[in-house]
Amino acid sequence: MSMLLTAQAMQLKVGNATRKLVLLKLADNANDNGVCWPSYEYIADMCEVSRRTVMRHIKTLEEMGLVSVSSRKGEKGNSTNVYQLHLGGDKLSSPSDTRSPGGVTQDHQPSDPVSPGISHRTSHKEPKKNKQKKSAEFESCFSQIWAVFPTKKSRKNALAKFISIVKAQSEPPEVFTEMLCQDIETRVANRQFGFDRLHLTTYLNQERWNDDHEINQASHGGAESHAQRLEQLNADLLARYGHTATPIRQSNFAPECGGLDPSEVCGGIWHEMDLQGTPIDLDSSDFHDVSD
């Protein structure tokens, strides 16, 4: 663990909170030479994000020049990523930081327009042509996502959310768009439960591309499901009354049902009566002559 690298990483601006957390974890694992080799799974577990998210942010950090990635073979033939951090170079320091290597001890005032780090955003107003070009680029990328997403609702809200997410990230819109399209196509191919009813706005708001992919289980036929429901109903009747009376499966209307609707349970009332109970002794006084 290098305290110097951790402090340097803390000072950097990388354009995304999760990306900053991944960078800090790499710095925390690095030795004094800035070298470390944690696995994707370990970083994901420590940062409480998905493995896919860690891979994406490390790739962006590599493109920003903060991390270089190399591969080495282990004793068992497996491949391991080795990370070399570059947090104290000239590219990471502003002109006012020359007295403090790496910008670790130099504090910037809130009004200082220069930040010790890499940022693709600027406080200056962009020309109108650039804004129009970016707007067209965003809409073109969004159209690709809209084309593959199964639910076509609330396009305006989804577009606004997509643009806000892209502006907050440092990676090019095309890279982010390609990743989303691949994720959506995978979930559609897997027939993920409920995904065909999900709105694109909700997908973007909740960052659902970070969720694990699920494969929908094939449902049973209608006839089998109906039979299972009948079996369950028979079991409930047996538990409650001690019998199932007329079988629930019987669809023909039987005369002994006494005129009941076929959906009603019948035929079990006599089984509930004790036909061999105590006899009733009647004498002659209990009868009346009604012949007169």
Looking from the CA of 253 toward its CB, the CA atoms found within 13 Å total 6
How many Å apart are CA 10 and CA 29, to the nearest integer? 14
Mind listing the pLDDT tens digit for each residue in 182-226? 999 999 999 888 888 999 999 999 999 988 888 775 555 455 567
In whole angstroms, give the CA distance from residue 156 to residue 159: 5
Q: Note whether residue 289 is domain-resident.
A: no
The pLDDT of residue 223 is 53
| C-alpha span between 180 and 146 (Å, rounded) | 10
Please indicate, yes or no, if residue 276 is contained in any of the structural domains: no
Residue 122 lies in a domain: no
Mind listing the pLDDT tens digit for each residue in 228-243?
777 777 777 777 777 6
Nearest CA to 44 out of 31, 58, 63 is that of 58
Is 123 within a domain?
A: no
φ and ψ of 212, to 5 deg: -70, 150
CB 55 within 8 A of CB 6: no
Q: What are phi and psi of 38, to 5 degrees?
A: -70, 155
Whether residue 277 lies inside any domain: the answer is no
Last residue of a domain, one of 53, 79, 95: 95
Q: How many folded domains does the chain comprise? A: 3
Please tell me the least confidently modeled range out of 12-26, 96-110, 170-184: 96-110
In a domain, 286, yes or no: no
User: Which range of residues forms the domain containing residue 70?
Assistant: 3-95
144, 192: one domain: yes
Chain centroid to Cα 148, Å, comes to 18
Q: Give yes or no: residues 198 and 233 share one domain.
A: no
Residue 114 in domain: no
Return the CATH number at 72.
1.10.10.10
Residue 113 lies in a domain: no
Task: Say whether both 142 and 89 belong to one domain.
Answer: no
